[in-house]
Chains A and B, each alone.
Chain A
Amino acid sequence: MTASATSRHAAHAAPLLPTGRLALWWFVASEIAIFGGALTCYVLLRARHPEWGEQARHTLAGAGALNTAVLLTSSLTAVLAHAAAHRGEARRAARLLALTVLGGLVFLGVKGFEYHHELTAGFTPRAGLFWAFYFLLTGLHALHVIAGMTANAVVAVGAAKGKHLGRVELVAIYWHFVDVVWIFLFPLLYLAS
């Protein structure tokens, strides 16, 4: 093989980005389309329904703020897990991923408390369009939190055995995305009343 053919072959053989990471970014992009579409509809309709502000006052802003802090902190543990995995510190990465999963559990617990409070007060998805959006957006987000927790737990088990440390970065990226979605949900649903 000539020198130029060798270099062409090498260029085609080495991917610009690892396949798993590329696939994850495409997945995140598809999730942006889903959440972005739902949030866009909410924002547009919210502008035409100023009375939704009164409805939003019945959400528990304190619980929402606590959940924001919990998710931001779990994003910290996720990125620290990624850094530890990058350095080859498998057990530390596993412990930090376990803390990330714990953060998700706390988030879901607080969310469950909020749902119980709102549903027993009569604010169900049928109570009005605001509440339909509220339960759609937060429920969809909660499902993503559960999926993220599951992925983090599976990778944590592997990392504890020193296996597949490259996956820590992937689950951490997904978890940060779940956090970014909540960063927008919190002010739109709780604060902009």
Chain B
Amino acid sequence: MRDEQTSSSDRHYLIVWALLMGALGVSLALGAAGHHGALVATIFAVAVAKAGLVLTHFMHLRLAPRLPRLILVGAVAVVVVLYLGLLPDITWVFGAPAGR
């Protein structure tokens, strides 16, 4: 019974690892395919998916109490606010050429 539980949980992690390696392969293939905006966005989406797999299955966030998830969401929210706050100044500079 204990050996069955051991192999079952270890097999689960191996499957997740295989999915992560597959996602890495997809990223590399997309990176070699070109550098259009849509491809870059897809590469980043694959990265988000990989991070999600590590967070939920390796870090066990899906089993964790609400507090750790709230803490992480709060930290990510701070970064998103930083991005949105800086976006107008850095990216949209009216009348100024890029690089100035």
Contacts and interface: CB of A to CB of B under 8 A. Distances in A.
A183 B86 contact: no
B43 A83 contact: no
A40 B83 contact: yes
Contacts of A193: 35
Interface in B47-100: 47, 50-51, 54-55, 57-59, 65, 67-68, 71-72, 74-76, 78-79, 82-83, 86-87, 90-91, 93, 98-99
Interface residues of B, number: 47
Contact of B75 (A30, A83, A190): A30
Interface string A124-166: 0000000000000000000000000000000000000000000
Contacts of B75: 28-30, 32-33, 36
A44 B83 contact: yes
Contact of B59 (A17, A48, A173, A190): A173
A48 B89 CA distance: 11
B87 A83 contact: no
A172 B20 CA distance: 17
Given A48-B90, A192-B40, A176 B54 contact: yes
B41 to A, nearest CB: 10
Given A48-B98, A183-B47, A83 B10 contact: yes
Nearest to A44: B90
Contacts of A65: 24, 28
Contact of A61 (B31, B54, B71): B31
Q: Is the interface of A mostly helix, strand, loop or mixed?
A: helix
B67 A16 contact: yes
B72 A80 contact: no
A79 interface: yes
A110 B86 CA distance: 34
Interface string A17-53: 1000110011011101100110111011101111101
A187 B28 CA distance: 9
A106 interface: no
A177 B68 CA distance: 13
A72 B20 contact: yes
Given A29-B72, A80-B13, A183-B51, 15 more contacts: A16-B67, A17-B68, A22-B68, A29-B74, A32-B78, A72-B24, A79-B58, A83-B9, A176-B54, A183-B47, A187-B31, A190-B31, A191-B40, A192-B35, A192-B44
Interface of A: 16-17, 21-22, 25-26, 28-30, 32-33, 36-37, 39-41, 43-45, 47-51, 53, 61, 65, 68-69, 72-73, 75-76, 78-80, 83, 87, 172-173, 176-177, 179-180, 183-184, 186-188, 190-193
